[in-house]
Amino acid sequence: MIVANRHGRNGRTKRNGAPNGRSRAEDRPAGTAAEPVSLQEQVIADIVGIGHTGEGVGRVNGFTLFIHGALPGEKVSAQVTGLKKQYGFARLLKVLEASPDRVEPPCPVYDECGGCQLQHLGYEGQLRLKRQMVVDNLERIAKLRVANIDADGEPGGVVVHPTIGMTDPWRYRNKVQVPIGEREGGLAGGLAGGFYATGSHRIVDADRCLIRTEAADDIVSAVKKMAYELGIPAYDEEKRRSGLRHVIVKSGFRTGETMVVLVSDKEELPEAQRLAERIVEAVPGIASICHNVNAGPAGTVMGPHTSVLWGRDRIYDAIGDVRFAISAHSFYQVNPVQTEALYGKALEYAGLTGSETVIDAYCGVGTISLFLAQRAKRVYGVEIVPEAVQDARRNAELNGIANAEFEAGKAEEVIPAWREQGIRPDVIVVDPPRSGCDAALLDTIVTMRPQRVVYVSCNPSTLARDLRVLEDGGFRTVEVQPVDMFPWTAHVESVIWMVRKE
């Protein structure tokens, strides 16, 4: 059995790795009565599952330990590093009995970097595991019976299909945002840039990353080198030093166009124009270089103000037959190959014949809405971010789509107003953030009673919570299609088909 998540209802984790936001300062002191393990003790653990951040779920004397680097089915030696009342944390020391799916990670900084969590698990094993993560949450949280797909389905059970994976699961990210810092001996002679180390804001310096494009590798490496040569410092919050905070690279897989965004904490970035010109000379395919100002606290990547240093203010790409304009602030799915598979399944589950009215909650820049509009009579999209709504309208115009309209606001407020105007959707599509749907929106869906609901999820635990509400409100879950949008990480997306109970 693979356990997807034993962290409670929503499974959210703070950066320190403690489930449900509890800090390690709450660690249980050693020596309390009847404790199955003690701090710093070396134990032998059987790994029975995987956690939502990719850690192995181990059992020692019936006690749960979360062990990064361990895989389901393994027996490992580990040292206990932290204890709570019902679970603890341990450091992997040695794999005593290895999973047949275990592989050697190809990335040289995998053990340090927090960008990937599952490079030690073979890709076919990842696909099976991600399906099981979805199944476990549906059964445990949503209380749904899942059909046995190996036995041609169980009557009345929800069908959870095998995870749709990638033919080539490397170099798939069309967007990367790299923090920039300064440290002794950095690869760029003083400037470092890469991903943050797991559970920290320490930058793991790397010129090459196997999940981002080679063009992004070249750009990040060039920026670090050229910025250092031009005397552009890295931003340092502790030292109150102004400078370059992040480098963001966006690529159009279908068009080959690339945008570079240089993020600093002040409007004046020394030598910014010269840096832009040198990037264009060094790296082919650049269509846009922008400068973004973010004076906010650590944890935020971009600020509200962006100006163009070179080229256009946007690039273009396409998913299927739909073209999209991508600005510095635009949200755009980072894996376009799998996005086409994801949206194709959403379109299939919507069951459109050309006569339906569709509401797309959390519509973003209109990606799903414009797919649906190709087969629907009318599509209404709502999104809380006004800039995204502007992008959605521009994307509709770019594609000559006239049967889609978009409104800015909270879905749980805008959709009831549409209902008062006489709009009666046949299909409602939701694609919420990791926190899931707002409770008021779920109530609205139950009240409006569309024929079908299509739920696009990036978090199995909040998905399961919301499905339980919709099931209790008069809908039935028919099929679930997991899609691997982020190979080598512990994330899984799903598309869910629900119908109204007659």
Instruction: Report all structural domains of the chain as residue ranges with CATH numbers, in order of start.
Output: 24-97 (2.40.50.140), 175-319 (2.40.50.1070), 335-500 (3.40.50.150)
Exposure of 355 by Cβ count < 10 A (0-12 exposed, 13-18 middle, 19+ buried)? Answer: exposed
Burial bucket for residue 281 (CB in 10 Å: 0-12, 13-18, 19+): exposed
From 494, 477, 478, 476, select the one nearest 486 (Cα to Cα). 494
Contact in structure between 457 and 463 (CB atoms under 8 Å)? yes
Residue 357: name the closest of 411, 305, 405, 320 by CA. 405
Neighbours of 214 (CB within 10 A): 10
DSSP string computed for 120-173:
TB-HHHHHHHHHHHHHHHHHHTS-PPBP-GGGT--TTPBEEPPPB--SS-SS-B
The whole-number pLDDT of residue 34 equals 56
C-alpha span between 219 and 215 (Å, rounded):
6
Per-residue pLDDT, 166: 98
Angle at 492 between CA 490 and CA 394, to 5 degrees: 125
Name 422's Cβ contacts closer than 8 Å, sequence gap at least 6.
none
Measured CA to CA, the distance from residue 25 to residue 403 in angstroms comes to: 55
Residue 297 has what pLDDT?
81
DSSP run (H or E) holding 205: strand 203-205
3-state secondary structure of 1: coil
Of 23, 4, 25, nearest in space to 15 by CA = 23
DSSP alpha helix (H) spans, 230-376: 272-282, 336-350, 367-373
Q: Which residues pair with 50 in a beta bridge?
A: 56
Residue 486 structure tokens = 């982020």
What stretches of 255-385 show up as alpha helix (H) in DSSP? 272-282, 336-350, 367-373
Is 371:350 a contact under the CB 8 Å cutoff?
no
CA dist., res. 76 & res. 368, Å (int): 44
Which of 107, 116, 363, 458 does the annotation list as catalytic? 458
Q: Is 458 a catalytic residue?
A: yes
* Integer Cα distance of 313 and 326 in angstroms: 9
d(CA 56, CA 4): 10
Per-residue pLDDT in tens (0 to 9) along the chain, 502 residues: 343 332 333 333 333 344 433 333 344 444 444 578 999 999 999 999 998 889 999 999 999 999 999 999 999 999 999 999 899 999 999 999 999 999 999 999 998 888 899 999 999 999 999 999 999 999 999 999 999 866 554 566 999 999 999 999 999 999 999 999 986 654 555 788 888 887 778 888 888 999 999 999 999 999 999 999 999 999 988 788 899 999 999 999 999 999 999 999 999 999 999 999 999 999 988 999 999 999 988 778 999 999 999 999 999 999 999 999 999 988 888 999 999 999 999 999 999 999 999 999 999 999 999 999 999 999 999 999 898 999 999 999 999 999 999 999 999 999 999 999 999 999 999 999 999 999 999 999 999 999 999 999 999 999 999 999 999 999 999 999 999 999 999 999 999 999 999 7
pLDDT at 5: 33
Confidence at residue 466, expressed as pLDDT on a 0 to 100 scale: 98
pLDDT at position 152, please? Answer: 55
Q: Extract the tokens encoding 220.
A: 């990040």
- State the helix-helix crossing angle for 411-420 and 439-448, rounded to 10 degrees: 20
pLDDT for res 36:
87
